[in-house]
Chain A
Amino acid sequence: LAKTTQPISMDSYEGQEVNITCSHNNIATNDYITWYQQFPSQGPRFIIQGYKTKVTNEVASLFIPADRKSSTLSLPRVSLSDTAVYYCLVDTGEAGGFKTIFGAGTRLFVKA
């Protein structure tokens, strides 16, 4: 199983770009990289997913280098409401099913 390593916490200010890097040295060929966001007292919510290079949606960008052993979630111009825990996941495919393995996540605190 591919394990992920992320910083425990990060601080930022409103309006700044935030980059959260995740390492996943044992990622398998068929694995995708997925990021979730979790606010207090809520379930995680999907942010973005990618396989290689760069993926962008309306809320974030995901950068994945060629070796795929790491990935970086980029949040442009964060606001106070982006204060949350961000989880990097490597989906593990198995015959007949798959599991989603969550690590401890990165606690992002955005200050005014």
Chain B
Amino acid sequence: DAGITQSPRYKITETGRQVTLMCHQTWSHSYMFWYRQDLGHGLRLIYYSAAADITDKGEVPDGYVVSRSKTENFPLTLESATRSQTSVYFCASSDGTLNTEAFFGQGTRLTVV
């Protein structure tokens, strides 16, 4: 299916465990983004990527790791999950043209217990 998909949609993990959230897009967009959204708040940028093998930090990168070995995939890893990382995570992509729109996935609701 064309578009941007995130997996899993829901995840419960324990404090201290490593967890990876997956993001896949079929448009060959050059830019991909990870955001987190906490209850009642807007989205905060965690990391973004301009192309394969090029990533950069956003507003709140601490505790997260990203990689982008292929253009279509942009996984987000929580190396040692903490309760403060309980949130809804959104992945997005865009074609990289300046001031173009971004397309968002459905989100992954992560709960750290």
- A98, B97: Cα distance in complex, Å: 9
B29 sits at the interface (CB 8 A): no
**Are B98 and A91 in contact, CB atoms less than 8 angstroms apart?**
yes
Q: Interface size class for chain A?
A: 20 to 34
The CA of A69 and the CA of B107, in the complex, are separated in Å by 32
Q: How many residues on B have C-beta within 8 angstroms of the other chain's C-beta atoms?
A: 24
Q: Give which listed residue, B31, B42, B56, B90, contacts A104 with CB less than 8 A.
A: B42
Cα A100 to Cα B102 in complex, Å, equals: 9
CA distance A46 to B99 in the complex (A): 12
- B44 / chain A contacts, CB cutoff of 8 Å: 102
CB of A33 to closest CB in B, whole Å? 9
Q: Which residues of A contact B (CB under 8 A)?
A: 30-32, 34, 41-46, 49, 87, 91, 93, 96-105
Residue contact A99 to B43, C-beta cutoff 8 Å: no
Residue of chain A at shortest CB distance from B50: A97
